[in-house]
Amino acid sequence: GQQLNQSPQSMFIQEGEDVSMNCTSSSIFNTWLWYKQDPGEGPVLLIALYKAGELTSNGRLTAQFGITRKDSFLNISASIPSDVGIYFCAGYSSASKIIFGSGTRLSIRP
């Protein structure tokens, strides 16, 4: 079946560093969504992407819809402690088919 490969699985960064994570698939997607999940909470939508090549920002977050429609990346600039959490990508291959990546766990080194 369809799979989304999300990497890295986890990362430790220093406060103030930039962060980059991505999702790739062998399948084409029509929409990419990026979420953040804090412990004990539901995923919160960060950015939605609808067109190949689209680059969208939300504060310090920037995400892009890959030209091939098979990948997407999320960048976080100048990380702060509240950026800690699990980040998920999700892609729709059709209006009714969504699949989530396995998540990137972001931690900050004290």
Partner 1 sequence: DTAVSQTPKYLVTQMGNDKSIKCEQNLGHDTMYWYKQDSKKFLKIMFSYNNKELIINETVPNRFSPKSPDKAHLNLHINSLELGDSAVYFCASSQLAGGEQYFGPGTRLTVT
Q: Note the residues at the interface with partner 1 (CB under 8 A).
A: 30-31, 33, 35, 37, 40-45, 48, 86, 88, 90, 92, 94-100, 102-103, 105
Q: Which is nearer to partner 1, 41 or 59 (CB)?
A: 41
Least distance to partner 1 from the beta carbon of 78, Å? 26
Contacts of 110 (CB under 8 A, 6+ apart): none
Measure the CA–CA gap between 31 and 52, rounded to whole angstroms: 9
Least distance to partner 1 from the beta carbon of 57, Å? 16
Q: What is the CA radius of gyration of the chain?
A: 13
